[in-house]
Chain A
């Protein structure tokens, strides 16, 4: 054996001890901080990314991981206890609540959904679309952009004879939940054949593509001419920048409306008073002449029972901050993602739920 390898052997235990000591040092240095993990809704993700740096700067004892994985993941991983916060645009179903009684559905803001499209030459025209038309596109009854049914709602718009490429989410998604619920509430055939959920049995339409998350939806729209997709409003800055079309949607009163500072609050005003104590409610297709038809509560799914008091305290503190009008619900955050703050009545229900966490 050479001198060098003997030396190496003599030093090996010492090196190993040093390495172990290093690991221990890292471990103990961070023992005082609490790590909270968030995953789920890609619609809520941009807001979390605004919240977390601001919150952790003021509260250095807590680390919050964020991830954009889709509401389905948020729901699943929060139920399994893999994350503390499951972000979701959809509330838990009765079956999920029966099986997981310790789950809380905590609204933190009000959001809405756009129908975007990429029809070259027509992206600056706000095409008028209805739930029935969209259901027809997504189940294959309407295949071309110049279909008579589309032209009827859009007289004078010379739409091209091109196949419609419908884009849907492949991940379990609250946006899919909202969109399919809108189609179910407006189209009998869709309700019977497909229904609604965070993942639905998409009718087999030739050429239809699946995309991952809201970002994937925007990218697919951008790169695929003649496509149509549903996109959460927190991506409006991006869809506008990419020059994508945004549809005016027919509401329950038969009017065509777009997302703005009147239509979303109008829909919220019609639905928020109906919110039950556990705050699980659909706000899709609200009545009212001005109401925008696809709005919802943005939820954070949290477990009632936390493993320890420190964790519970940090979770309550963060959520209370998140819904406070001077904290996370201030317009300086929400304006950037086009969300509405929680109305006072919803906030008090939410605070009641937060106070139960222990």
Chain B
């Protein structure tokens, strides 16, 4: 090998190695900083509802070998539930919307204007999270809480979790709707490309045996795309799990309480980290900050698992 090639190879390899290094650094620092919290909180961390800084005006006490404020406990079941529930609602809304929009764009819109029409969906992905939050805050919440949720609670009250009280508009369903809009472009764009690249011969075969064009899409094109759809939906799930600002502005920031219906205020792990880090910093024993780091670590591991799953499910180049 020429020396210039060797040099080239060494250089790009060394630079590329920074990327795994970033992941290692994230893991190492979060584990390091949350270590006292991991020991103090134990397994209760994920299975109870008790985020409590303790009596800040008392004197620190030693519990399980760690110095904490009296009465302090850190457990985040309500955040885990809030995060998973809002993301699942988002997915339940985003998958049908994304599939529908992809089918419409790929099959019903003439190719000449397709680029522009698909921008109408795909630009949703580039709207900053905080602008989604703003829109949700000034438009969606008044609209839904006054004109939609009361009716939903009234007419669909027989479905579990749909009944009243219909709440203040800040809550689970509002967060789910906004999250759905944020991750739907990922599904729509990838699925549209997949539909477009379906071999023409397959469609013609379907049409030849007398199927309508929609039947070709539904019975021949879409079934072939089940695996990519699952993969890209998993990717969208990963995105919804970690959304921060929009959720912070519209979720109602519930504390230590599980949602009783789809209108209830919630918090998510990501939004809670933003809203509570400052409060946690006041804890003179630092256990609250260590526990925030533990939330960060849990969120990091969750997103790693979900994203790794998405990549392993579908080896194609999604989302980039």
Contacts and interface: CB of A to CB of B under 8 A. Distances in A.
A77 B281 contact: yes
Nearest to A206: B260
Interface stretch (A8-16, A197-205, A241-249): A197-205
B275 A210 contact: yes
B215 interface: no
A73 interface: yes
A210 B59 CA distance: 28
A170 to B, nearest CB: 5
Contact of B55 (A197, A206, A207): A197
Interface of B: 49-53, 55-60, 69, 71, 141-142, 165, 167-170, 252-257, 260, 264-265, 267, 275-276, 278-279, 281-282, 284-285
Contacts, number: 117
Given A70-B278, A197-B55, A201-B51, 19 more contacts: A70-B279, A76-B278, A77-B278, A94-B57, A96-B56, A171-B279, A195-B55, A197-B57, A198-B56, A204-B255, A206-B264, A209-B168, A210-B255, A210-B265, A210-B267, A210-B275, A223-B142, A223-B168, A224-B170
A70 B277 CA distance: 12
Contact of A199 (B142, B279, B284): B279
Given A93-B284, A201-B256, A212 B57 contact: no
B257 A95 contact: no
Interface in A144-202: 163, 165, 168, 170-172, 195-202
A95 B58 contact: yes
Contact of B278 (A98, A172, A202, A223): A172
B57 A202 contact: no
A202 B256 contact: yes
Nearest to A39: B278
B149 to A, nearest CB: 12
21 contacts: A72-B282, A94-B57, A94-B59, A95-B60, A96-B56, A96-B284, A170-B253, A170-B276, A172-B278, A172-B281, A198-B279, A201-B51, A201-B53, A202-B256, A204-B256, A209-B252, A210-B254, A211-B253, A223-B168, A223-B169, A224-B168
B265 A199 contact: no
A209 B254 CA distance: 6
Given A223-B141, A227-B168, A209 B284 contact: no
Contacts of B260: 206
Contacts of B56: 93, 95-96, 197-199
Contacts of A227: 168
Interface in A80-95: 80, 93-95
A171 B256 contact: no
A132 interface: no
The 4 nearest A-B residue pairs measured at CB: A210-B253, A76-B281, A172-B279, A204-B257
B257 A206 contact: yes
Nearest to A162: B165
Contacts of B276: 170, 199
A206 B275 CA distance: 20
Contact of A171 (B142, B252, B278): B278
A216 B68 CA distance: 30
Interface of A: 69-70, 72-73, 75-77, 80, 93-96, 98-100, 163, 165, 168, 170-172, 195-202, 204-212, 220, 223-224, 227
A98 B60 CA distance: 10
Given A93-B57, A197-B55, A207 B282 contact: no
B284 A99 contact: yes
A77 B281 CA distance: 8
B168 A96 contact: no
Contacts of A170: 253, 255, 275-276
Nearest to A71: B282
Contact of B255 (A95, A202, A206): A202
Contacts of A93: 56-58, 284
A212 B279 contact: no
Contacts of B252: 209-210
B279 to A, nearest CB: 3
A199 B57 contact: no
A177 to B, nearest CB: 9
A163 B150 CA distance: 14
A99 B283 CA distance: 11
A163 B165 contact: yes
Nearest to A205: B257
A197 B279 CA distance: 10
Contacts of B141: 223
A207 B265 CA distance: 6
Nearest to B271: A170
B157 to A, nearest CB: 16
- Residue of A198, A202, A205, A209 with most chain B CB atoms under a 10 A cut-off: A209
